[in-house]
């Protein structure tokens, strides 16, 4: 008889708390070739890994800001969640492959973020210079907006991440001011900043963005390992409870750069 | 799986009792309350190999302490990565119950302020006990961090105090279902306050509900998303109605604790949360009854009624 009571107990429907991350990805000309291929493959692996963790796939929210020439927010929503538009098709100079241009989306926190279970990994194409400052500035703004959306809708959330991957040095002047902003935001505990440098990156520049942790140097093009680590780390945070220092997996894919 | 489980004062178990697997309150010839409680580890803990970090306990004080007796409940949720938070939670619960009992045996508060002082002293005592435990173990007190939720029910009122993110949901003498606590959250979902913090007492939220309460549920935050509507923290009646029905029908507190543990460990619950889950359920054997004053008037809080209470008084 008692078990009938428990069977009758119905659970409240509550939205999951959110764990937002902005991936700020270098798509400048120097990333052409193997680097961008491995990055794109890493994004695909990231999507698959995070979807495999049910709770994380409902809690983690992803936005992608790509910077190469211009800074773009990439549409990472699965096709059924966006209007159909004509794909723009690009031929690369060698004429060897056709790669559709990744869809852009406005810098609007309503459109740029998607919960991980709906994440469509973009296929990024490289060109242009390296406006890192502008890209991180956009990421900060998106996160600020996203927090407002959470508050307006009564959603709980975890501390957001900005995760930067770059292979060069910034070509825009504003990066220093933006780095100051990031450090201040981290000091306020408003954000967690991770900087990853690929071969050729200016690690000193990256180190200016955070006092909390030094930038990491990617081993070769180990994007696959990097994104697996990222998926596990975000899952750990998505599962974490009050007072828990969510233990992050060891960084096998890179080394800590302490030279600056 | 821990609790300090206590019988009436003259059969009290010693404070240093090691953790027990079961929970019970021996019910005397004329019981005032039906109570049971259970704490089970979350699935994430089974993955990580950590013990259940929730602790709970309760005591029933009889007429010799005060007219109408009193029910004391304490529940603590150990901080996730604090190494000994399961011990911290247990220490906090035992010290809190002891403090509340001794305070009442010394003097019954006369007004709300008096009840608030009693609870402040209870938190201070519990906090000190955790520090002393850490000290005697030669460890940092932060490794014993836990929340603490304390409830006292008498014939005429309910006093509630909380540091952290548990919840207390109650049914009063008009049948109204309400949440008696506010969750303490930082900006982020995985932040709350702990008993061992320096300003913990400043953060404590203490309230006196000046009317009889017929049934109460005290829980840790592992159950909150299932039991309350967020962000308003209103109780979800379809969750509580069957659970209060269950406690009203309880004869054997120990068996009931086992059934409750099975429910808390069920797949249905674990689909929604991987956290430790603990819950104390209590119902007055002879409920107080009062017609609601503002029945039918505008702005009336929705009367999510509790279950029809068992009047047979076993």
- CA distance between the termini of chain B: 29
Q: Check B239 against A5: CB less than 8 A apart.
A: no
**Structure-token match 């005592």, residue found:** B125
Question: Cα distance from A4 to chain B (closest Cα, Å)?
Answer: 9
Strands B158-163 and B205-209, by their bridges, are: antiparallel
Q: Which of residues 151-210 of A touch B (CB under 8 A)?
A: 154-159, 189
| B103 touches B66 (CB < 8 A) | no
Whether B115 and chain A come into contact, CB under 8 Å, resolves to no
Question: Cα distance from B77 to chain A (closest Cα, Å)?
Answer: 10
For the ranges A63-67, B145-149, B192-196, B304-308, which has the lowest average pLDDT? B304-308
Please compute the mean of the pLDDT values over residues B225-231 and round it to a whole number: 93
Strands A254-256 and B33-40, by their bridges, are: unpaired
Q: Report the C-alpha gap between B263 and B280 in whole angstroms.
A: 13
The structural domains of chain B, ordered by start, are 4-284 (3.60.40.10)
**Predicted confidence band at B43 (pLDDT cuts at 50, 70, 90)?**
confident
Task: Dump pLDDT digits (tens) for B95-110.
Answer: 999 999 999 999 999 9
Asked whether the predicted pLDDT for residue B298 surpasses 60, the reply is no
| B101 touches B111 (CB < 8 A) | no
From chain A, pick out residues whose CB is under 8 angstroms from the CB of B148: none
**Predicted confidence band at B140 (pLDDT cuts at 50, 70, 90)?**
very high
- Containing B59, the helix (H) or strand (E) segment is strand B54-61
| A218 touches A253 (CB < 8 A) | yes
DSSP letter at A174?
T
**Structure-token match 């697997």, residue found:** B21
For chain A, residues with pLDDT lower than 70 are: 1-3, 80-101, 243, 245, 258-260
What confidence score (pLDDT) does residue B46 get? 66
**Predicted confidence band at B182 (pLDDT cuts at 50, 70, 90)?**
confident
Question: Cα distance from A258 to chain B (closest Cα, Å)?
Answer: 28
Mutate to test the interface with B, among A9, A148, A157 (most CBs of B within 10 A): A9
Q: Which of residues 233-262 of B touch A (CB under 8 A)?
A: 236, 238-239, 241-243, 245-246, 249, 256, 259, 262
Q: Check B187 against A2: CB less than 8 A apart.
A: no
Please compute the mean of the pLDDT values over residues B242-268 and round it to a whole number: 94
Average pLDDT, chain B: 85
A16-239 CATH, one of 3.40.50.700, 3.20.20.140, 3.40.50.12160, 3.40.50.410: 3.40.50.410
Please compute the mean of the pLDDT values over residues B300-309 and round it to a whole number: 45
Nearest neighbour of A243 by CB, restricted to B145, B189, B242: B145
| B59 touches B23 (CB < 8 A) | no
What confidence score (pLDDT) does residue A230 get? 95
Please compute the mean of the pLDDT values over residues B214-242 and round it to a whole number: 95
**Quick one: closest CA in A to B224, which residue?**
A12
Q: Report the C-alpha gap between A171 and A138 in whole angstroms.
A: 16
Q: Which of residues 162-221 of B touch A (CB under 8 A)?
A: 164-165, 185, 187-192, 194, 221
Q: Enumerate residues 6+ apart whose C-beta is below 8 A from A7.
A: B242
Q: Report the C-alpha gap between A28 and A124 in whole angstroms.
A: 10
Q: Check B230 against A2: CB less than 8 A apart.
A: no
What confidence score (pLDDT) does residue A50 get? 94
What confidence score (pLDDT) does residue A170 get? 96
| B185 touches B191 (CB < 8 A) | yes
Q: Report the C-alpha gap between A44 and A155 in whole angstroms.
A: 28
Our measurement of the distance from residue A56's CA atom to the centroid of its chain's CA atoms, rounded to an integer in Å, reads 14
Q: Check A245 against B274: CB less than 8 A apart.
A: no
pTM for the predicted model, two decimal places: 0.82
Instruction: Tally Cβ neighbours within 10 Å of residue A155.
Output: 18
What confidence score (pLDDT) does residue A241 get? 78
In total, the C-beta contacts within 8 angstroms joining chain A to chain B are 108
- Compute CA distances A236 → A22, A55, A176, A233, B190, whole Å: 17, 10, 32, 5, 12
What confidence score (pLDDT) does residue A95 get? 52
**In a 3-state reduction of DSSP, which class is residue A247?**
coil
From chain B, pick out residues whose CB is under 8 angstroms from the CB of A247: 81
Burial class (CB in 10 A: 0-12, 13-18, 19+), B298: exposed
DSSP per-residue codes, A210-226: -SSS--EEE-TT-HHHH
What confidence score (pLDDT) does residue B74 get? 98
- Containing B119, the helix (H) or strand (E) segment is helix B112-137
Q: Report the C-alpha gap between A220 and A14 in whole angstroms.
A: 43
Whether A241 and chain B come into contact, CB under 8 Å, resolves to yes
Q: Which of residues 54-83 of B touch A (CB under 8 A)?
A: 77-82
B46 — phi, psi (to 5°)? -65, -35
**Quick one: closest CA in A to B194, which residue?**
A243
Nearest neighbour of B229 by CB, restricted to A14, A239, A246: A14
**In a 3-state reduction of DSSP, which class is residue B162?**
strand
Domain boundaries defined on chain A: 16-239
| Percent residues over pLDDT 70 in chain B | 83
| B52 touches B41 (CB < 8 A) | yes
What confidence score (pLDDT) does residue A242 get? 75
**Predicted confidence band at B311 (pLDDT cuts at 50, 70, 90)?**
very low
What confidence score (pLDDT) does residue A52 get? 93
Asked whether the predicted pLDDT for residue B15 surpasses 90, the reply is no
Question: Cα distance from B109 to chain A (closest Cα, Å)?
Answer: 34
Asked whether the predicted pLDDT for residue B70 surpasses 90, the reply is yes
Whether A15 and chain B come into contact, CB under 8 Å, resolves to yes
Whether B49 and chain A come into contact, CB under 8 Å, resolves to no
Strands B213-219 and B277-284, by their bridges, are: antiparallel
Show the tokens assigned to A151: 């508050």
**Predicted confidence band at B145 (pLDDT cuts at 50, 70, 90)?**
very high
- Compute CA distances B24 → A100, A228, B8, B17, B227, whole Å: 67, 47, 11, 14, 24
């Amino acid at each position: 008889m008692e078990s009938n009571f428990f069977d009758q107990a119905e659970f409240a429907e509550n939205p999951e708390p959110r764990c937002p991350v902005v991936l700020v990805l270098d798509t400048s000309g120097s990333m052409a070739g193997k680097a961008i291929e491995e990055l794109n493959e890493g994004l695909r692996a990231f999507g698959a890994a995070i979807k495999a963790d049910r709770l994380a796939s409902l809690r983690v929210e992803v936005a992608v800001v790509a910077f190469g020439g211009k800074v773009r927010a990439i549409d990472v929503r699965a096709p059924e969640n966006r209007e159909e538009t004509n794909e723009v098709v690009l031929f690369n100079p060698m004429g060897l492959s056709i790669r559709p241009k990744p869809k852009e989306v406005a810098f609007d926190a309503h459109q740029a973020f998607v919960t991980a279970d709906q994440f469509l990994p973009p296929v990024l194409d490289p060109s242009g210079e390296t406006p890192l400052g502008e890209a991180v500035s956009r990421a900060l703004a998106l996160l600020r907006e996203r927090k407002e959306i959470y508050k307006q809708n009564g959603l709980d959330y975890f501390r957001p991440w900005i995760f930067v991957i770059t292979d060069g040095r910034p070509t825009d002047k504003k990066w220093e001011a933006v780095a100051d902003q990031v450090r201040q935001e981290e000091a306020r505990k408003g954000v967690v900043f991770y900087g990853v440098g690929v071969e050729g990156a200016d690690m000193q520049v990256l180190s200016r963005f955070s006092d909390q942790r030094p930038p990491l140097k990617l081993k070769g093009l180990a994007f696959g390992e990097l994104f697996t680590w990222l998926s596990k780390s975000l899952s750990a945070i998505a599962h974490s409870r009050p007072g828990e220092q969510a233990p992050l997996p060891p960084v096998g894919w890179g080394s800590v750069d302490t030279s600056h | 799986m821990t609790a300090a489980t206590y019988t009436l004062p003259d059969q009290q178990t010693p404070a240093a009792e090691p953790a027990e697997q079961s929970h019970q309150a021996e019910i005397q010839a004329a019981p005032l309350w039906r109570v049971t409680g259970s704490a089970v580890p979350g699935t994430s803990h089974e993955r990580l190999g950590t013990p259940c970090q929730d602790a709970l306990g309760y005591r029933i004080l009889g007429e010799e302490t005060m007219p109408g007796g009193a029910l004391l409940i304490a529940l603590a949720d150990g901080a996730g990565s604090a190494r000994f938070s399961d011990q911290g939670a247990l220490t906090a619960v035992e010290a809190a119950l002891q403090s509340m009992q001794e305070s009442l045996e010394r003097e019954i508060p006369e007004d709300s302020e008096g009840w608030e002082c009693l609870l402040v002293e209870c938190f201070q005592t519990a906090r000190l006990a955790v520090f002393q435990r850490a000290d005697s173990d030669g460890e940092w007190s932060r490794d014993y961090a836990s929340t603490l939720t304390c409830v006292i029910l008498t014939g005429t009122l309910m006093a509630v105090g909380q540091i952290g993110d548990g919840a207390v949901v109650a049914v009063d003498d008009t049948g109204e279902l309400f949440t008696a606590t506010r969750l303490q959250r930082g900006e982020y979902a995985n932040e709350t306050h702990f008993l061992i913090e320096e300003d913990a007492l400043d953060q404590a939220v203490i309230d006196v509900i000046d009317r009889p309460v017929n049934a109460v549920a005290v829980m840790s935050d592992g159950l909150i998303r299932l039991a309350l509507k967020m962000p308003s923290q209103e109780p979800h009646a379809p969750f509580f109605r069957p659970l209060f029905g269950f406690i009203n029908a309880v004869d054997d507190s120990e068996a009931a604790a086992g059934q409750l543990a099975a429910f808390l460990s069920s797949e249905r619950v674990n689909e929604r949360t991987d956290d430790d889950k603990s819950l104390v359920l209590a119902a007055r054997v002879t409920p107080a009854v009062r017609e609601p004053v503002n029945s039918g008037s505008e702005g009336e809080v929705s009367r999510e009624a509790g279950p029809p209470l068992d009047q047979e008084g076993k």
